[in-house]
Amino acid sequence: MDSKKLTLSSGAPYYEHQDSQTVGPRGPVLLQDFILQENLAHFVRERIPERIVHAKGSGAYGTFTVTHDISNYTKAKLFSKVGNSCRMFARFSTVGGEKGSADTARDPRGFALKFYTEDGNWDLVGNNTPVFFIKDAKKFPDFIHTQKRVPKTNLKSATMMWDFWSLNPESLHQVLILMSDRGTPHGYRHMHGFGSHTFSMINDKNERVWVKFHFKTKQGIKNFTDSEAVKMAGENPDFAQEDLCNAIENGDFPKWTMYIQVMTEDQARDFRWNPFDVTKVWFHEDFPMIEVGEMELNEVPVNYFAHVEQSTFSPSNLINGISFSPDKMLQGRLFSYPDAHRYRVGVNSHQLEVNRCPFAVNNYQRDGFMADSSQYQDKPNYHPNSFDDIKADISYKNYEYELDSAHVASYNRNENDDDHYTQPGLLYSKAMSPEDRQNLVNNIVGSMRAINGPKKDEIINRQLCHFFRANIELGMKVASQLNVIIDPNMMNHSK
């Protein structure tokens, strides 16, 4: 059968569908990569008005308090001294399900936080997992399509899920987490949260370090087994929402301890893996957890739609002293998240109560749908001008830095960075208990048994190869329960 050329919506053929154009293999993504922009911009406009991902969610207001000094790492005013605190808003969610789906489904959980600080709103938009399925945002629309519904039947499909995962071994780390009992947390209060991406902190000496954010639940980890999660989905599809609201209304305020891991620029250059790869973790023994503060949720919003449904989060909402990194997934999200909100809620969604900075907002943005002029009234809408008193403060000037390369290309995201198996193997052999490992195997097998169609054996065997390469025992157990006869060549590849 003759193949068809991959094209843009204009019909122009192109080749680079999976790797974003960057400055050097670890450099930032370029705005001129119009293929990335077209794919992301089209993707976030595929549904209205429901969120494309994270549609089923719960939210609450609370307080964040700094308990330990990290001012040597960041000049952010929030972290300038122990005891500082700010109001905050948190939204938890499943990823793939629609708004009316069960919130106990096997899925990663969104863990989105908005800190209302005197230097503006800071959004930390992460998950309950420290890693993700893919490492380049160019692949995100394709990945999410596999988690949604088949265009013809409008049904979920294990076949397209495992087909995509088997063709993208970088997903293995997150797949093992998803298929473990961590994929079905017992509500939102009993799970950890992670910024997932690598971010940066800059101190008052203009020194930069790389950081990862962790939020450890003080309620203790608690998960459903697969059968318990399925049962609860039928009995109460709003279990997590009810659990969160009831706890807060009863005064049992859920809390999380915030930690950071810190990596210097020299350590980043010598790190075994790309430190900006969101499919990898930093080992705690190499980069210890540093305690920072405590988050407490203590207020159920008075109106779900106004506060939870209309809440918007973006990793581009950063504050002075906290910045981004060359993480390709993060760089894509800096564009796609605010673009999604401008489309879904409106260009003035930042003026809504839940999204509004409670401190000063002074700029020259005007008009658009649902514009509220109470902030700017008749002030000039251009800069510079002779009439207002808005001045740019040089102390907030961006951190300046040199790049490692000036060579522009769509670098293969896996070239010299294709170890997709060491960390998943350690997750299975070191981090999981025997019970965790058995539940993982059972969950994988239960899901993979639903693969069907003419490519069934090809998909199963391809995914088994990934399991073997991570851990032979894992591969053997899954293969055995799927009644797959092991090819000796598969065993050779697993060494």
Catalytic residue status for 443: no
* Separation in Å, CA 439 to CA 103, 229, 340, 442, 443: 20, 13, 37, 5, 6
Single out the catalytic residue among 39, 121, 127, 439: 127
Count the neighbouring beta carbons within 10 Å of the beta carbon of residue 205.
8
Helix segments in 99-258, DSSP class H: 140-147, 158-167, 172-179, 226-235, 239-249
CA distance 126 to 123: 9
Give SS3 for 330: helix
Inter-residue contact 60 to 73 (CB < 8 Å): no
Count the neighbouring beta carbons within 10 Å of the beta carbon of residue 486.
13
What burial letters (b/e) apply to 288-317, b meaning 16+ CB within 10 Å? eeeebbbbbbebbbeeeeebbbbbbbbbbb
CA distance 103 to 97: 8
Cα 376–Cα 380–Cα 382 angle in degrees, nearest 5 = 120
Single out the catalytic residue among 39, 54, 317, 414: 54
Catalytic residue status for 54: yes
* Separation in Å, CA 80 to CA 87, 263, 323, 472: 16, 20, 16, 49
CA distance 161 to 146: 5
CA distance 198 to 323: 10
Helix (H) or strand (E) holding 323: strand 322-323
The answer to the question of whether 14 is labelled as a binding residue is no
Say which DSSP state 343 is in.
H
Inter-residue contact 346 to 370 (CB < 8 Å): yes
Distance of CA 237 to the CA centre of its chain: 23
- What residues form the annotated binding site? 337
- What residues form the annotated binding site for heme? 337
**Catalytic center residues:** 54, 127
